[in-house]
Amino acid sequence: MTVCVFAASSSRIDPVYVEAASRLGHLLASENMDVIYGGGGIGLMGVLADAVISAKGKVTGVIPGFMYEEGWGHQGITEMIITSDMGERKKKMIGDADAIVALPGGVGTLEELTEAITLKQLGFFKGPVVILNTLGFYSNLLLFLEDMIKGSFLRREHGSIWSVVNTPGEVITAIKDYKGWLDDPRKYAKIY
């Protein structure tokens, strides 16, 4: 199984986020789950990759050429895939994944997460989408998504596209216990 992890590139964040990313990396490797991520060497991305490596797991980075040329890539991962742009990066990461996990992050992470939700809504991604809500980081986003449902911008069924957990251990459980979503997501994609 390959797990795509979206995560922050910032290193100026609360150590609780860092610890959660490290713990998740160790757990994924110990469960023999390969990791594909944005290829960064700093922030939560770097911490996650370092943890997977230290636990003898496999981690693949996917990074746009301009970022790699700036030296933003992790130097010690199993494999680095260099893409032409951000869109190709995201397509590769999601396309190679059986599950998606969103750690706290900035607008890039938010954009990746919402694309994953959209792809699942339309039936292009079938696996679990797990949001790790460390320190309540995603709580406001989750309220906003609930407002979308209440306002009929999303169907109630769409609220089951993602699952929300609070600890790295619960991420593993959410992935392992995933039973699938809808057989025909497109039937629910259009709001009448």
Residue 118 structure tokens: 């959209």
- Fold classification of 2-136+162-177 is Rossmann fold (3.40.50)
Taking only the tens place, the pLDDT of each residue in 62-91 is: 999 999 999 999 999 999 999 999 999 999
Tell me how far apart the alpha carbons of residues 120 and 93 are, in angstroms, rounded to a whole number: 14
pLDDT at 151 over 80: yes
DSSP character for 152?
A: T
pLDDT at 188 over 90: no
pLDDT at 36 over 80: yes
Q: Which residues pair with 100 in a beta bridge?
A: 4, 129
Give the per-residue pLDDT at 192: 66
Extents of the domains making up the chain: 2-136+162-177
Give the per-residue pLDDT at 129: 98
pLDDT at 134 over 70: yes
pLDDT at 183 over 70: yes
| Average model confidence (pLDDT) across the chain | 97
Give the per-residue pLDDT at 2: 98
Tell me how far apart the alpha carbons of residues 182 and 161 are, in angstroms, rounded to a whole number: 9
Tell me how far apart the alpha carbons of residues 88 and 150 are, in angstroms, rounded to a whole number: 33
pTM of structure: 0.96
